[in-house]
């Protein structure tokens, strides 16, 4: 499953969050892979699209929860959405 993780650096945590990111690269744990990650230039927020199991996602969120505010949303692509919608609303 794919998940969009929206992150925003918590007030007072900017420098520690950046140092952690620069030193580790914020790799995805085993069981999860990064599809893409985007940063808003000049801001303290961004998005991380990941794919994998919910347990690996929970680990990754826990690794960053003391530095950033996180929101996780399961996401599907157009073809999956269309197939589901067709079952309810027809072709």
Say what the pTM is: 0.88
Total tally of structural domains belonging to the chain = 1
CATH number at residue 6: 3.30.70
Pick the closest to residue 36 from 44, 46, 48 (CA basis). Answer: 48
Please determine, for residue 20, whether its predicted confidence score (pLDDT) is greater than 90: yes
pLDDT in tens, 46-61: 999 999 999 999 999 9
Q: Which domain holds residue 74?
A: 2-89
């Amino acid at each position: 499953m794919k998940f969009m993780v929206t992150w925003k650096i918590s007030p007072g945590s900017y420098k520690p969050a950046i140092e952690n990111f620069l030193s580790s690269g914020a790799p995805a744990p085993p069981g999860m892979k990064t599809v893409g990650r985007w940063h808003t230039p000049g801001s303290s927020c961004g998005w991380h699209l990941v794919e994998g199991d919910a347990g690996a996602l929970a680990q990754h969120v826990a690794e960053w929860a003391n530095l950033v505010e996180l929101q996780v949303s399961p996401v599907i692509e157009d073809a999956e959405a269309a197939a589901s919608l067709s079952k309810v609303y027809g072709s």
